[in-house]
């Protein structure tokens, strides 16, 4: 019998899926629907001392990505404290209150939202490109003020997320959530040139398009910082969640997929996670967590990390090989091979190791994963 529960900062979650801060966690009613669909925990829309106003429009679904200019919560603090947070405690899932945007604001808000029922806090602190100090100050002051786990939301829009991760860990943060939506993108109407997000024109990018970026940032935080991570960004299926855990996440944040496909998406993703474990002979997510980290060639020094493309590449001798038992003879590998290394033979396809450069294109495009690499010994 497989189990998909995880532990997060002393809380037992029935699913690794955490509703990331966003419109689907805007109030009690919307989080209640997520809880009914089996979400593991929820992070509220970021609560401020004074409510935000959103540009109109502020949401746009593009092909394989999402754009938004949504600001923080539009609900006044008093309603969060008197109504939303106390009711959220009745749902039976851990509730994480997201608070922002300055260290002063966070220090003032933290004890109030904890008194109202928040079991953990996520700090969404505005910082510049290269200065984690506002986050550091916020962590110190919030940790001094409350006795619940404190998570810091990290963004990839900084010169070095590892430096930010280390700084908040040293300041006493219990965990990080990474990554935030990415700054920034534009969608336009090709006929008129009018931007979809009329008022601002550009918006933060989330959804499928940022998954690879999110996995890299999460893996870096896991390897270099060694802190509990809610891995977030572009997760839209149960298998995406498995990948996020493989890169070292303790739990998996989901925002855009729940907006686009509705709260019931959480139930389908939970099923996909359990199915994956069953099909591949795993019993729990602990067996999956972090297994990608030792397989990544992380540069050692900060300098190498920031300029990794200057590093010398160790020459290897590999070829791609088609598993004839799995091949469906679709011919995609032959069509995409840049080096003309795929030959048609007896109605099927074979790769000539002399011409193959093991560039990886056919491996990644084979629809049935029938191609893998083989080490050559010449």
Ligand X SMILES: Cc1cc2nc3c(=O)[nH]c(=O)nc-3n(C[C@H](O)[C@H](O)[C@H](O)COP(=O)(O)O)c2cc1C
Would you count residue 60 as binding ligand X (CB under 6 A)? no
Rg (alpha carbons) of the chain, rounded to whole number: 23
Residue in 112, 119, 124, 217 binding ligand X, rule: CB under 6 A: 124
Residue 73 CB, nearest distance to ligand X (Å)?
A: 7
Would you count residue 151 as binding ligand X (CB under 6 A)? no
Please check whether residue 272 is in contact with residue 239, taking contact to mean a CB–CB distance below 8 angstroms: yes
Q: Residue 66: which residues within 8 A CB-CB, separation 6 or more? A: 59, 60, 205, 206, 207, 256, 259, 260
Would you count residue 141 as binding ligand X (CB under 6 A)? no
Would you count residue 59 as binding ligand X (CB under 6 A)? yes
> Considering beta carbons, is residue 60 or 143 the nearer one to ligand X?
60
> Considering beta carbons, is residue 9 or 100 the nearer one to ligand X?
100
Residue 14 CB, nearest distance to ligand X (Å)?
A: 20
Residue 306 CB, nearest distance to ligand X (Å)?
A: 24
Strands 228-232 and 175-178 come out as: parallel
Residue 67 CB, nearest distance to ligand X (Å)?
A: 8
Query: Quick check: helix, strand or coil at residue 285?
Result: helix
Would you count residue 15 as binding ligand X (CB under 6 A)? no
Other CB atoms within a 10 A radius of the CB of residue 295 amount to 8
Residue 20 CB, nearest distance to ligand X (Å)?
A: 3
Would you count residue 23 as binding ligand X (CB under 6 A)? yes
Contact mark string toward ligand X, 163..202, x via CB under 6 A: -----------------xx---------------------
Q: Where are the beta strands (DSSP E) in 179-297?
A: 182-185, 203-206, 228-232, 251-254
> Considering beta carbons, is residue 23 or 94 the nearer one to ligand X?
23
- Give me the long-range contacts of 287-291 (CB less than 8 A, separation at least 24): 288/242, 288/245, 288/246, 289/245, 289/246, 289/248, 289/249, 289/250, 290/222, 290/245, 290/246, 290/247, 290/248, 291/246
Would you count residue 207 as binding ligand X (CB under 6 A)? yes
Of 248-277, which residues contact ligand X (CB under 6 A)?
254-257
68: which strand partners? Answer: 59, 204
Residue in 127, 232, 246, 270 binding ligand X, rule: CB under 6 A: 232
Would you count residue 153 as binding ligand X (CB under 6 A)? yes
Residue in 13, 37, 70, 139 binding ligand X, rule: CB under 6 A: 70
Quick one: which segment of 8-16, 231-239, 277-285, 296-304 binds ligand X (CB under 6 A)? 231-239
Residue 358 CB, nearest distance to ligand X (Å)?
A: 32
Would you count residue 105 as binding ligand X (CB under 6 A)? no
Residue in 72, 85, 152, 230 binding ligand X, rule: CB under 6 A: 72
Residue 23 CB, nearest distance to ligand X (Å)?
A: 5
> Considering beta carbons, is residue 13 or 75 the nearer one to ligand X?
75
Other CB atoms within a 10 A radius of the CB of residue 38 amount to 19
Residue 181 CB, nearest distance to ligand X (Å)?
A: 4
Q: 45: exposed, middle or buried (C-beta count within 10 Å: 0-12, 13-18, 19+)?
A: buried
- Give the residue among 136, 156, 287, 150 at the shortest CA–CA distance from 219: 156
In angstroms, rounded to a whole number, what is the distance separating the alpha carbons of residues 2 and 274?
7
**What torsion do the CA atoms of 14, 20, 23, 29 make, to the nearest 10 degrees?**
20
* Angle, vertex CA 204, rays to CA 307 and CA 20, nearest 5: 95
Query: Quick check: helix, strand or coil at residue 218?
Result: helix
Would you count residue 21 as binding ligand X (CB under 6 A)? yes
> Considering beta carbons, is residue 273 or 370 the nearer one to ligand X?
273
Q: Cα 28 to the chain's mean position, in Å?
A: 24
Contact residues toward ligand X (CB under 6 A) are 20-23, 45-46, 59, 66, 68, 70, 72, 98, 124, 153, 180-181, 206-207, 210, 232-235, 254-257
């Amino acid at each position: 019998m497989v189990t998909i529960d995880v532990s997060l900062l002393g809380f037992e979650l029935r699913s690794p899926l955490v509703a990331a801060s966003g419109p689907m966690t805007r109030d009690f009613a919307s989080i209640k629907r997520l809880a009914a669909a089996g979400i593991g925990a929820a992070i509220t829309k970021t609560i401020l001392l004074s409510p935000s106003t959103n540009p109109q429009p502020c949401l746009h679904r593009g092909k394989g990505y999402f754009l938004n200019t949504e600001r923080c919560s539009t609900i006044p603090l008093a309603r969060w404290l008197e109504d939303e947070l106390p009711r959220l405690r009745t749902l039976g899932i851990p509730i994480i209150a997201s608070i922002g945007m300055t260290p002063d604001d966070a220090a003032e808000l933290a004890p109030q939202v904890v008194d109202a029922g928040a079991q953990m806090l996520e700090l969404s602190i505005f910082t510049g490109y290269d200065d984690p100090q506002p986050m550091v100050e916020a962590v110190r002051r919030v940790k001094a003020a409350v006795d619940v786990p404190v998570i810091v939301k990290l963004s990839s829009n900084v010169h070095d997320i590892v430096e930010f991760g280390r700084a908040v860990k040293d300041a006493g943060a219990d965990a990080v959530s990474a990554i935030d939506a990415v700054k920034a993108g534009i969608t336009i109407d090709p006929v008129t040139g009018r931007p979809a997000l009329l008022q601002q024109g550009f918006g933060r990018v989330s959804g499928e398009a940022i998954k690879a970026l999110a996995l890299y940032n999460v893996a870096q935080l896991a390897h270099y910082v060694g802190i509990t991570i809610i891995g977030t960004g572009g997760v839209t299926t149960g298998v995406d969640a498995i990948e996020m855990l493989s890169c070292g996440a303790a739990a998996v944040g989901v925002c855009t997929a729940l907006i686009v496909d509705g709260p019931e998406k959480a139930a389908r993703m939970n099923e996909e996670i359990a199915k994956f474990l069953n099909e591949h002979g795993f019993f729990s997510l602990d067996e999956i967590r972090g297994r990608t980290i030792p397989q990544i060639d992380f540069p050692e020094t900060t300098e190498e990390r920031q300029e990794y493309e200057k590093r010398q590449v160790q020459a290897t001798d590999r070829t791609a090989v088609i598993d004839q038992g799995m091949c469906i003879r679709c011919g995609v590998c032959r069509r995409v091979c840049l080096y003309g290394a795929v030959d048609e033979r007896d109605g099927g396809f074979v790769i000539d190791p002399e011409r193959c450069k093991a560039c990886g294109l056919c491996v990644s495009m084979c629809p049935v994963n029938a191609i893998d690499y083989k080490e050559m010994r010449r």
